[in-house]
Amino acid sequence: MPKSMPIIEARNKLTLLPEQLAEGPESGDETLDILSDEKMMRALRQGIREVAAGKGIPWDQAKRRLQR
C-alpha cells in the first residue's frame, strides 16, 4: 500500500534531496518513494502550479503553521 503524506511534507523532502544524497544514497530512499508515487507527484505538481500562480504563502508563515 502506498504511503501518503501532506503535500508540504513531500515538498520539504524534495527540497532536502541534495543534502540527503550528500549524506549517502540510502538517505534518498524516501524521496525516491515519493517520486515513484503518481498520486503524490500529482499533488506536488499542483502545489508548484499554485505557487507559480501566486497562491503560495511565505516560507516563514508556512513554518509557523506547521509548528502549531
Would 11 be classed as within a structural domain? yes
Give the pLDDT confidence of 33-68 residue by residue, as tens digits.
Answer: 888 888 988 988 898 888 889 888 888 888 888 888
Q: Which of 3-7, 10-14, 23-27 has the lowest mean pLDDT?
A: 23-27
Mean pLDDT calculated for residue range 7-26? 77
Would 19 be classed as within a structural domain? yes
As for how many domains the chain has, the answer is 1
Identify the residue whose cell numbers are 509548528. Answer: 67
Residue 19 is predicted with a pLDDT of: 80
How many other C-beta atoms can be found within 10 angstroms of the C-beta atom of residue 47? 17
Would 54 be classed as within a structural domain? yes
Residue 2 is predicted with a pLDDT of: 57
Would 2 be classed as within a structural domain? no
Would 41 be classed as within a structural domain? yes
Task: Give the Å distances, CA to CA, from 30 to 35, 36, 49, 52.
Answer: 9, 10, 23, 26
Structural domain harbouring 30? 7-67
pTM as predicted: 0.47
